[in-house]
Structure 1
Amino acid sequence: MIEHERVNILLVDDQPAKLLSYEVVLRELGENLIQAASATDALQILLKNEIAVVLVDVCMPDLDGFELAAMIRDHPRFQRTAIIFISAIHLTDTDYLRGYEMGAVDYVPVPVVPELLRAKVKVFAELYRKTRQLEALNQDLERRVAERTAALQASTARLQESEHQLRLATEAAEIGLWDVDNVSNTLFWPPRVKAMFGISADVPVSMADFFDGIHPDDREATCAAFDASCDRDKRALYDVEYRTIGKEDGIVRWVAAKGRGIFDEEGRCVRIIGTALDITERKKAEQRQFLLAREVDHRARNALAVVQAIVRLTRSDSKENYVKAVEGRVQALAQAHTLLSETRWQGADVTRLVVEEVAPYRGSDRSRVRTDGPAVTLAPERAQSLALALHELATNSVKYGALSVAEGMLAVEWSVNGNVMTMVWTEAGGPPVYPPTSHGFGTKIMNAGIKHQIGGDVAFDWRPTGLQCTLRIPLERVDQAPQPSKNLIRLPAGTTKRILLVEDEAIVGLMMRELLTDCGMLVVGPCCTLEEALAEATGEFDGALLDLNLGGKFVYPVAELLVERRIPFTFVTGYGAESLDGRFTGTPILQKPITRETLQRQLGTMLGIVIEWKTAPPGDEQASLKTA
């Protein structure tokens, strides 16, 4: 209700003249004046209108004023309506008390004094108006409070839902939320973050626990990132990955932390809040991926080095025969690599190696070639050596043995006794065979691969009825007592530079020995195992070429011995420089496959010599050495 809105004033009297006089007196108030000629009319008007003041005559024929007042007060709507009695008779004190009990607020005697009546009615009309205004204000206030309360409840519900979703998200992502109070220098860590620092959930923590738990190698970078989060000029961001050392369990973990500084009005960083994520498994996966990529690169380079050695060492009387020989040997390697890749380089099945190598020679008569033996899986380096050996035997048989005629027969049988697999290659029905007067490249490959590289044995029995070759292949490497080197190549007097050659890939070793010999070196080796290399490393020589990985063992013990003896050396490997032990950072590396020119330059640098090649007809090429 606005301030000047009119209120209703009900005038009740059974005499029209009196009603008219009341209306004349009260007209100056500017309110709505409603007349009722009886109590019954008054009740009907009250039920249909909001009445501020009731002016009622005490004496009326049907219901007197007291009875009307009682009926008004009985109705809930009118319990606070102001009732003023007008009486022309003298009322006793008892009558006054009765009127007040019935709800009257005042009495006006007759004759009525206009000013007095107007004053009393005005007071109660204004009181009614103010009361209604107050009620309206209260209702508006209650409405606003209800709206604000509902908004707060909705906001609280949204906040709780948001917090619930955030909690679910952080739990699903295994993220921990942390909070640093720079004012009080206190730290809040939930159990998940405590676990990243190897601290139990119920143990209180401080900033000292944070700094003490960081790995020493990462402490400087982490502290610098933390300081940056308090610097607005650096965007107040905290973003760092670091390792922790568990306070209670000593376990090393990786943590990715992100956060942001919060500043007060004066620009001081008062808080830093952020997240922490345990990325230990991710880092391990990255390391495994790095090692896998490094190993793939190593194996690829080693394979290329083997192919390079085959190309360089293969000899033939014609270009066509040379291409055929190289292709056959590369194909044998490819077959072995295919089998190894199917098992992710865990090993190759012997049966498939044999069957795939002899398959082209079976022809229409399937009984011509017989294979028999138990299921055996060979490690990668043994599988490769056996594949090349089978290829050389098959090639020789096709050229000179049983497979060179239609009537020839071949049996390949193998058995396992303890830690050794014995394979017997038996030919029959072919041309007469005789022991060779010299060993060809195929025989050198077999001896180098089977004997020197994997510690096995090769035995040839040149029977008149056909060749029988027995291959003994250890299923696991058995380190034998090193024997004095039989591979020392003695060159003409005046050539004094001696090189220790350590290489576990037999064919690559043969090629490098040939290259070193072409460079005018005396060669000790190649040593195929770490034990052989350690035994030879105590001898006299001027430098060394060391394959980094020897059958799964690093060559570092040999390198340490050479460092003690102050003998220069170079690593020759399929690995990159990042794979070297930190002790040998800066040591020269030749990555496989290598060329003669690259080897010459490195030898010159390592030994302090200049190698000058004199161009000559093929086969007569000579090298001379000069001291640098």
Structure 2
Amino acid sequence: MDHEKVNILLVDDQPAKLLAYEVILKDLGENLVIASSGREALEVLLKTEIAVILVDVCMPELDGFELAAMIREHPRFQKTAMIFISAIQVSDIDRLRGYEMGAVDYVPVPVVPEVLRAKIKVFSELYRKTRELERLNQELEDRVRARTAELESSTAKLRESEQRRSMAIAAGKMGSWDWDWINGDWMWDEGQYRIFGVSPESFEVNPANVQALLHPDDVDQLRKAIAEFNKGTRAYETEFRIVRPDGDIRWCVGTAAATADNSGRVVRVSGVTVDITERKRAEERQNLLAREVDHRAKNALALAQSIVRLTRADEVKAYVNAVEGRINALARVHTILSLSSWQGAELSKLIDEELAPYSLGDQIRLAGPEVQLVPATAQTLALALHELFTNSAKYGALSTRSGRLLIGWQVEEDHLTLTWEESGGPLVRTPKSRGFGTRSLLASVESQLGGQAQFDWRAEGLLCRLEVPLTRKTAASAAQGKFDAGTSPELQRASG
């Protein structure tokens, strides 16, 4: 598919090595920018938007570490991906130093062309997707601003219309009132009673009773309006809240006009009240939508970055397949959540989506009630299920036609218990160390959801038990948890 090319900066003081990098990366179809020194690289960065920097560690005058530190000091390049190339054996201390300077990866010499191309391709695509998300966010902000401007324009026209009238006939969400300034008598029409949530039979209209229905934080608005009319003001408008007897809070716009006698003394004040609660809620929903889209975009990017950085494989093809598999699992659960307007997802639907790539016939049996998961829990469980399915398809029961898998779940006291039971597959041995999939599964279930994950490597097949709380508190903490930033303790250890 056609896409906009990105710029890749190649920095090395040896022309022969630069030429080799150009030959290796030419097939990516990106723009390759050459710099033969650290200072030349800085000049290029100030003039050109760069997606990925490939830099030699050992260079005269300004080495790769010093160059990385200078690049990171500039606000524009604090998130630019840098890959170090080193022809010497790099110690763990050197690697830590490089990561502190902002490196995202190391490539040893001699360079394996396929590995270098794969790494550059991943970070180029990540850069391209980031720019696309920024563009979409900007378009959304522009639309929100346009809607807000339209809303403000409509409100202004409404206010102009209200100011041309001293009274309004009760209709829809409007009410009118009249206040005899001399003797204190009030008159409300039917719309005014409806807005305040009271009835003419049980509510006596007087200053004390009206003030009792005003929101405590807006009582001063009434006092200010009275003071303004006493000073000679003839028209006044304000927004305020009322608290109905049933506790419902409503937003209103009040417009008032004063009538004076021949001496200029105010004798009557008439006004119109408009219930604008729905408009206020619409504004809140728009603001929430803008923040939510921005939050989800950043979270999706953070998850993708974590997957790319933390996935390990001995071969390029295995690395690419692992990354694509995990990102596709994330994409599938996002599709399910989008169809529900991000209200949640059914557990059985998540399992069905993970089963879709496999043709397993009657090898898998599902048993459990319908369980609705909040978005944060659904995302985490989707990734966990992906790891279990992938591992089983490679090494477990699903790797052979004789294998069987039973997935059962139940809910008790706001806790979901999911059991993964394999049988009939190859002989199982307890692994000597945990792989990335197991570590990430444990980190996501335990750190992000506050649950537990237990593994029993039985000879006849893996038995895994996941216990996840479904309370609102857990869901809320997961929504803003460490996995959004890709920095849970388990994942940090995995990346080390």
Q: Report what 2:272 is aligned to.
A: 275
1:243 aligns with 2:241: yes
Partner of residue 355, structure 1: 352
**Partner residue, 1:217:** 217
Distance 1:416 1:394 in 2: 20
For 1:199 and 1:477, the matched residues in 2 are separated by 38
Contact (CA 8 Å) 1:177, 1:276: kept in 2 or not?
yes
Partner of 1:189: 188
Say if 1:504 and 1:427 are closer, same or farther in 2 by CA, change over 3 A: farther
Read off the aligned partner of 2:441 and give its amino acid letter: M
| 8 Å CA contact retained: 2:482, 2:488 | no
The within-5 A match list for 1:73-222 is 170-194=169-193, 196-197=195-196, 200-202=199-201, 204-211=204-211, 213-222=213-222
Distance 2:463 2:277 in 1: 53
Q: Among 473, 479, 484, which residue is 2:467 paired with?
A: 473
Supply the AA of the counterpart residue of 2:329: A
Q: Does the residue aligned with 2:385 lie in a helix, a strand or coil?
A: helix
Q: 1:356 to 1:425 in 2, by over 3 A?
A: farther
Maintained 8 Å contact 2:449/2:469: no
Deviations 1:485-521, CA, capped at 9 Å, x for gaps: xxxxxxxxxxxxxxxx999746458724379889xxx
The one of 310, 313, 322 equivalent to 1:313 is: 310
Quote how far apart the aligned CAs of 1:200 are: 4.7
Task: Choose the corresponding residue for 2:429, options 434, 454, 458.
Answer: 434
Alignment of 1:289-304 (within 5 A): 294=291, 297-304=294-301
Q: Which amino acid aligns with 1:371?
A: R
Per-residue CA deviations over 1:430-475 (Å, capped at 9, x if unaligned) read 5x5432211111101221233444454434344555x423223346
Do 2:392 and 2:399's aligned partners in 1 also have CA atoms closer than 8 Å?
A: yes
Residue in 2 that maps onto 1:129: none
1:193 maps to a residue whose letter is Q
Structure number with greater Rg is 1
Give the SS at the match of 1:361.
coil
Letter in 1 for 2:385: L
Q: Quote the offset at 1:284 in angstroms.
A: 5.1
Against the structure 1 CA distance between its residues 503 and 260, is the aligned structure 2 distance closer, same or farther, given a 3 Å change threshold?
closer
Alignment partners' CA distance in 1, 2:170 and 2:462: 69
State the match for 1:424 in structure 2.
420
1:170-569 to 2 correspondence within 5 Å? Answer: 170-194=169-193, 196-197=195-196, 200-202=199-201, 204-211=204-211, 213-225=213-225, 227-228=227-228, 236-245=234-243, 252-280=249-277, 282-283=279-280, 286-287=283-284, 294=291, 297-362=294-359, 366-367=361-362, 369-380=363-374, 381-404=376-399, 407=401, 409-416=403-410, 418=412, 420-426=416-422, 428-430=424-426, 432-464=427-459, 467-474=461-468, 476-477=470-471, 505=481, 507-508=483-484, 511-513=487-489
- Alignment-mate amino acid for residue 219 of structure 1: V
Instruction: For residue 250 of structure 1, report the CA deviation from its aligned partner.
Output: 6.8
Matched position secondary structure for 1:511: coil
Cα distance in 2 for partners of 1:403, 1:199 equals 67
**Number of residue pairs the alignment of both structures matches:** 324
- TM-superposed CA distance for 1:260, in Å, is 2.3
1:84 counterpart residue number: none
Find the residue that maps to 2:389 and give its secondary structure: helix
The answer to whether the 8 A contact 1:424-1:471 is kept is: yes
The TM-score normalised by the length of structure 2 is 0.53
2:229 and 2:411 map into 1 onto residues whose CA distance is 68
2:370 maps to amino acid:
V
SS of 1:240's equivalent?
strand
Q: Residue 408 and residue 398 in structure 1: after superposition, are their counterparts in 2 closer, same or farther (change >3 A)?
A: same
Equivalent-residue separation in structure 2 for 1:325 and 1:188 (angstroms): 73
Q: Using the TM superposition, give the Cα deviation of residue 373 of structure 1 relative to its aligned residue in structure 2, in angstroms.
A: 1.8
* Cα separation, partners in 2 of 1:517 and 1:474, compared to 1, 3 Å: closer
SS in 2 for 1:392: helix
The SS at the match of 2:258 is strand
Residues of 1 paired with 2:243 and 2:218: CA distance?
11
Which structure has the higher relative contact order (CA within 8 Å, separation 6+)? Answer: 2
- Amino acid aligned to 1:374: G
Q: Note if contact 1:237-1:258 (Cα within 8 Å) is conserved in structure 2.
A: yes
Question: For 1:148-202, what per-residue CA distance to the aligned partner results, in whole angstroms no more than 9, with x for missing partners?
Answer: xxxxxxxxxxxxxxxxxx9xx8333242221233344543323543555566515
Deviation at 1:239, TM superposition (A): 1.7
Cα–Cα, structure 1 residues 350 and 512, in superposed 2: closer, same or farther, change >3 Å? Answer: closer
Cα distance change of structure 1 residues 388 and 512 upon mapping to structure 2, 3 Å threshold: closer
Whole-Å Cα distance in 1 between the matches of residues 434 and 323 of structure 2? Answer: 18
Residue pair 1:255, 1:278 contacting (<8 A) in 2 also: yes
Q: In the alignment, is the contact (CA less than 8 A) between 2:447 and 2:488 conserved in 1?
A: no
Specify the SS of the correspondent of 2:200. coil
**Mapping for residues 577-596 of structure 1, pairs under 5 Å:** none
Whichever residue aligns with residue 342 of structure 1, its letter is L
Query: What SS does the aligned partner of 1:244 have?
Result: strand
- 1:326 is paired with a residue whose SS is helix
Q: Do 1:253 and 1:280's aligned partners in 2 also have CA atoms closer than 8 Å?
A: yes
User: Does the aligned pair in 2 maintain the 1:350–1:377 contact within 8 Å?
Assistant: yes
Is there any run of 5+ residues in structure 2 with no aligned partner, and where?
Answer: 1-164
Q: Distance in 2 between matches of 1:249 and 1:390?
A: 47
Look up the equivalent residue of 2:313 and give its one-letter code.
S
CA distance in 1, matches of 2:472, 2:174: 50
Q: Residues 359-392 of structure 1, C-alpha deviation per residue, up to 9 Å, x if partnerless? A: 2121xx634x423223422423443332112211
> 2 CA distance for matches of 1:454 and 1:517?
19
What SS does structure 2 have at the residue aligned with 1:172?
A: coil
Distance 2:456 2:180 in 1: 86
Distance in 2 of aligned mates of 1:251 and 1:396: 53
RMSD in angstroms over aligned alpha carbons? 4.2
For each residue in 1:246-304, what CA deviation from the matched residue of structure 2 results, as whole angstroms up to 9, or x when unmatched?
5x777644332123233445554443322113344554565566556655554554444
Preserved CA contact (<8 Å) 2:260 2:267: yes
The one-letter amino acid of 2:205's match is V
Secondary structure, counterpart of 2:337 in structure 1: helix
State the alpha-carbon separation in 2 of the partners of residues 401 and 199 from structure 1. 68
Q: Which residue type is aligned with residue 422 of structure 1?
A: L
User: Structure 1 residues 512, 410: closer, same or farther in 2, change over 3 A?
Assistant: same
For residues 351 and 399 of structure 1, what CA distance do their matches in structure 2 show? 23
Partners of 1:460 and 1:469 within 8 A in 2: yes
Quote the sequence identity (%).
38
Q: 1:211 to 1:414 in 2, by over 3 A?
A: closer
CA contact (8 A) 2:443 2:490 kept: no
| 2:451–2:468 CA contact under 8 A, matched in 1 | yes
Mapped partners of 1:460, 1:375: distance in 2: 23
Counterpart code for 1:434: R
TM (norm. structure 1) is 0.43
CA distance in 2, matches of 1:515, 1:389: 14
Amino acid of the residue matched to residue 446 of structure 1? L
Q: How many Å separate the matches in 2 of 1:288 and 1:360?
A: 37
